Amino acid sequence: MNRLNTVAAHVAPTLTITDNRSGKKIDVKVKDGTIRATDLKQLGIQTYDPGYMNTTCCVSRISFIDGNRGVLRYRGYPIEQLAQDGSFTEVAFLLQYGELPTRGQLTQWEQDLMRHSMLHQDVATLTSAFRYDAHPMGMFVSAMAALGTLHPETNPALTSQNIYKDKAVRNKEIARILGSATTLAAMAYRHRMGRPFNTPNSDLGYTENFLYMLDVSHEGTSYRPHPKLVKALDVLFVLHAEHELNCSTSAMRHLTSSNVDVYTACAAAAGALYGPRHGGANEAVLRMLERIGSIENVPTFVEKVKQRKELLMGFGHRVYKHYDPRATIVRKIAEDVFEICGREPLIEVAMELERIALSDPYFKDRKLYPNVDFYSGLIYKAMGFPTDMFPILFTVPRLAGWLAHWSEWIDDPENRIYRPFQVYKGYDKRDYVQVDERSEKVHSKELTVKRSAFNRRRDASLQSAAADRSEYEWIKD
């Protein structure tokens, strides 16, 4: 490096901002492509960024995304290598601790996870109390939050606010939650299907045990899920384990900043993922493909999308402006699943839709490429999972990413409780008016409550009875 470059390397780049209202100029430092938002206080302004479209809130070392090149790495490792050669438990370890485990570390780690897969009977009782048709995600979120009540000794609100600073405590909570996740998910599934809960099988691996708890019946502990299906689901778990600061991961960090217990934080993150804009995307893809119906209908559907009469689900991404690398992997493993479970007819519709869209300038110019949700729902459907289980199959592996961010936030010297600002556009100061002196300013239509058919039937009966009483009183008078 020559002297000029050496000097330049040590001079922090700056950005000069001129306030045209006052003529005031400030120089702010630029680091890693960002400026400190607090530097703008010198001008008495804040940034306005709905949806955090251009906001950086932390420094992280967990995952890296290059949306323009279609690159995803966990702790520096390309997702393609981890999906092909690794396992979910290896990846979960990598996300937590920054390095791949040795053989001995992996064995111990997997034993720790399995040890925590056996849950307190109260969790089974709670899950059994839900209606037969309760959504599995609702049961999972509730059960995850309930786990925290079984471990008050590690709740910052009940013990020490600094309890999570102890990494030994953190390690136990991480293993406990990851170990519990598959059992919670299996309980939700079995309850939804009207079947008794199964006990975890400690002789099996993480993903294999999950499928075992879902499916084992009269065969007992000799039952073994098909190895190719185990591998397919394990790869899907790897692909869904972490993805930077998406909605649910941001929620995890937000909750963590309040120093709430980790179970409540995970339940809140799962609640965010439950939303159809996030964890329900692959289900939306499936509904779209079912609506298209056949290959012959694809061109017409594509034209409707271009006319903004239909939505193209499973294409495009907030970050990726190129083909989602996870989608490429999912498409490959789909064939392995179809070979065993039967070819899902909608795959032909999906492939034709992808072919037409990727050859159409309308979609190419808008950088709309298939994302991971485009094919994953077809695999889950082929494996026999009901669509309401799709968000749980996303949540279980994503817990590994959430917990990595939880731990990273705790160690961050710049951690602060999250508290964004707002631009207030409401009333100026108003004086209180006594209730009998107020005029009606809220229209009755704005207070309308949607009533069920049951309540409408009751309302009609009560009104009829009131009318009868009124008529009787008139006659009596």
Question: DSSP string of 20-49?
Answer: TTT--EEEEEEETTEE-GGGGGGGT-----
Return the HEC string of 363-409.
HHHCCCCECCHHHHHHHHHHCCCCHHHHHHHHHHHHHHHHHHHHHHH
Of the chain, the percentage scoring pLDDT greater than 70 comes to 96
Judge whether residue 473 has pLDDT over 90: no
Closest C-alpha among 232, 243, 234 to residue 325: 243
| pLDDT at site 476 | 57
User: What is d(CA 409, CA 415) in angstroms, rounded to the nearest whole number?
Assistant: 6
Q: Which two three-digit tokens encode residue 96? A: 């937590």
For residues 80 and 86, the answer to whether their CB atoms sit within 8 Å is no
412, 59 contact by CB (below 8 A): yes
The number of C-alpha atoms within 13 Å of 145 and in the hemisphere containing its C-beta is 13
Token pair belonging to 399: 């817990």
d(CA 184, CA 187) in angstroms, rounded, equals: 5
pLDDT at 470: 64
Name the superfamily (CATH) of residues 77-275+394-411: Citrate Synthase, domain 1 (1.10.580.10)
Amino acid 35 reads I
373 is catalytic: yes
Give the start-to-end residue ranges of the domains of the chain. 3-47, 77-275+394-411, 282-378
Q: 83-106 pLDDT, tens per residue?
A: 999 999 999 999 999 999 999 999
- How far apart are the two ends of the chain, measured CA to CA in Å? 107
Distance, CA of 231 to chain centre: 22
Positive or negative, the CA dihedral 133, 135, 140, 145 is negative
Tell me the per-residue pLDDT of 100-148, one tens digit each, with 9 for 90 and over: 999 999 999 999 999 999 999 999 999 999 999 999 999 999 999 999 9
Catalytic residue, candidates 261, 324, 373, 388: 373
Q: Is the pLDDT of residue 466 over 80?
A: no
- Which two three-digit tokens encode residue 282? 């692959």
pLDDT at 59: 94
pLDDT of residue 474: 54
Here the tokens at position 51 are 């949806």
Cα separation, 326 vs 376, in Å, equals 10
Neighbouring residues of 352: CB distance < 8 A, sequence distance ≥ 6: 295, 298
How many CA within 13 A on the CB side of residue 289?
26
Q: Does residue 228 contact residue 340 with C-beta atoms inside 8 Å?
A: yes
Q: What would the pLDDT profile of 393-425 be if each residue is shown by its tens digit? A: 999 999 999 999 999 999 999 999 999 999 999
Q: How far is CA 122 from the centre of its chain?
A: 26
Mean pLDDT of 10-37: 88
By DSSP bridging, strand 34-35 and strand 25-31 are antiparallel
pTM for the model stands at 0.89
Q: Which of 240, 254, 317, 405 is the catalytic position?
A: 317
CB 90 within 8 A of CB 105: no
Contact 285, 373 (CB under 8 A): yes
Residue pair 367/321 in contact by the 8 Å Cβ criterion: yes
Residue pLDDT, tens place only, 154-201: 999 999 999 999 999 999 999 999 999 999 999 999 999 999 999 999
Helix (H, G, I), strand (E, B) or coil at 336: helix
The pLDDT-based confidence of 471 (bands split at 50, 70, 90) is low
Strands ordered across the beta sheet of 71-74: 63-66, 71-74, 77-78
Note the Cα 208 to chain centre separation in Å. 23
Q: How many CB atoms lie within 10 A of CB 427?
A: 6
Q: Is 443 a catalytic residue?
A: no
Dihedral class, residue 458 (left if φ above 0, else alpha if ψ from -120 to 50, else beta): alpha
Tell me the mean pLDDT in the region 26-52.
90
What is d(CA 366, CA 358) in angstroms, rounded to the nearest whole number? 11
Long-range contacts, stretch 165-171, CB < 8 angstroms, 24+ apart:
165/410, 170/407, 170/410
346 and 378 in contact (C-beta within 8 Å)? yes
> Residue 436, Cα to own-chain centre: how many angstroms?
49
Q: Which pLDDT band, with edges at 50, 70 and 90, does 4 fall under?
A: very low
If you average pLDDT over residues 62-74, what whole number do you get?
94
Q: Give the type of residue at 147.
A: L
pLDDT band of residue 370 (cuts 50, 70, 90) is: confident
CB 71 within 8 A of CB 320: no
Evaluate whether 397 touches 241 at the Cβ level (below 8 Å).
Answer: yes
Q: What angle do CA 71, 68, 240 make, to 5 degrees?
A: 40
Q: Which CATH class is domain 282-378?
A: mainly alpha
The per-residue pLDDT for range 202-233, each reduced to its tens digit, is: 999 999 999 999 999 988 889 999 999 999 99
